[in-house]
Amino acid sequence: MTEQQKQASLTERVGEVIDQLRLLVQRDGGDIQLIDVQEDTGVVSIRFRGACVGCPGAAMTLKMGIERNLKERVPEVTEVVAVR
């Protein structure tokens, strides 16, 4: 498997989990967008949208919801960060 195939595979798996988590976030009027997956470090970058922007609970959602779920379902993920 080439590095590009590994990257696509990791990005696809992360994207599938993000799509599932989006449904939960959208219930509260927010949204999340997958921005980047760094295959070499396992860092995933997302962007909060809608009601999540500026929400005091966004940090908790990021670490205890999104990051925890991604780490459980995609072991290569080491961290999830929010970008603007």
User: Does the structure show a pLDDT above 60 at 1?
Assistant: no
Residue partners of 78: CB distance under 8 A and separation at least 6? 41, 42, 43, 71
Q: How many domains does the chain have?
A: 1
Confidence of residue 42 (pLDDT cuts 50, 70, 90): very high
In whole angstroms, give the CA distance from residue 27 to residue 40.
Answer: 33
In whole angstroms, give the CA distance from residue 84 to residue 73.
Answer: 25
CATH value at residue 59: 3.30.300.130
Confidence of residue 6 (pLDDT cuts 50, 70, 90): low
Q: Tell me: the pLDDT tens digits for 62-75? A: 999 999 999 999 99
Q: Tell me: the pLDDT tens digits for 28-38? A: 899 999 999 99
Domain around 69: 3-82
Task: Please identify which residue in the block is written with the tokens 């498997």.
Answer: 1
Task: Determine the Cα angle at 83 with ends 78 and 21, to 5°.
Answer: 65
